[in-house]
Structure 1
Amino acid sequence: MSELIVMMIILLPVGLYFISIGWRIWKKEQITLIHDYHYTIVAEKDKKSYTEKVGKSCILIGIGMILWVIIDFVSKASYGWICFGIFFVWGLVMIFKAQKKYNGGV
């Protein structure tokens, strides 16, 4: 039980941080929150859709972290790992696709 509490103390704020960063990248189009190497070649006309995709990806990863903690807390089993894995891979695939499409590669 103490492991779960430590996990909650660490992962909930990290998940909320990812959601916050994703929101700022997506809705406020703060492309500078992404490392400049990743957006140097992105055309000005594509920045809105690029930030939308990367921001949504960060939000997905954050949601996965939060669901991981909630599911593990409720179920007292490690099923949250599966949920986190799905959301994490989904988010990474979206980021890689956006990088390839708008920046010419990872």
Structure 2
Amino acid sequence: MVELILMISMGLLFIFLGWRIWEKQQITLIHSYHYTKVAEKDKKAYTEKMGKACIIIGIGMILTGIIDFISKTAYGWICFGIFFIWGLIMMFMVQKKYNGGIF
């Protein structure tokens, strides 16, 4: 039960932050060195894609908690790994495209 509550709470936090980054274009939620080289004209696309990647990770966390609670197996963690890697790959690709690199 603790895992379910923790994973849902963390997932909701990631979804909320992703929504703020994407919809509200609140780029300051991302560490400043990650967006220092992003051109002003690209900030909307950058925040949209970074926010979506964060939301994907949050969805993976929620699904992990639910699957592990229902099935009592490690299948939820497989789901988490897939969504986490998917979100990270998206973030790395966005960083490389709009910031010229990871840092």
Which band: TM-score by shorter chain? over 0.9
Q: Equivalent of 1:69, from 48, 65, 81?
A: 65
What displacement does 1:56 show?
0.3
Aligned to 2:51: 55
Does residue 6 in structure 1 map to residue 2 in structure 2? yes
- Residue equivalent to 1:23: 19
For 2:29 and 2:18, the matched residues in 1 are separated by 9
Q: Residues of 1 paired with 2:66 and 2:74: CA distance? A: 11
The reply on whether 1:38 has 2:38 as its aligned counterpart is no
**Counterpart in the other structure of 1:103:** 99
Q: Distance in 2 between matches of 1:53 and 1:64?
A: 17
Higher mean C-alpha deviation, range 18-27 or range 7-16 = 7-16
TM-score, normalised by the number of residues in structure 2: 0.96
Could you list the per-position Cα deviations for residues 45-84 of structure 1 after superposition, in whole angstroms to 9, with x for gaps in the alignment? Answer: 1000000110000000000000001111111211001110
Letter of the 1:46 counterpart: D
Runs of 4+ in 1 over 4 A off after TM superposition: none
How far apart, CA to CA, are the structure 2 residues paired with 1:42 and 1:74? Answer: 43
Amino acid in the other structure paired with 1:17: L
Deviation, 1:9, is: 2.4
Listed as ranges, the gaps of 5+ residues in structure 1 are none
Letter of the 1:23 partner, please give it: W
Q: Identity over the aligned pairs, expressed in percent?
A: 71
Q: CA RMSD in A?
A: 0.7
**The 10-residue stretch of structure 1 (85-94 or 6-15) with the greater mean CA deviation from structure 2:** 6-15
Tell me if the contact between 2:53 and 2:90 (Cα under 8 Å) persists in the aligned partners. yes
* TM-score (norm. length: structure 1): 0.93
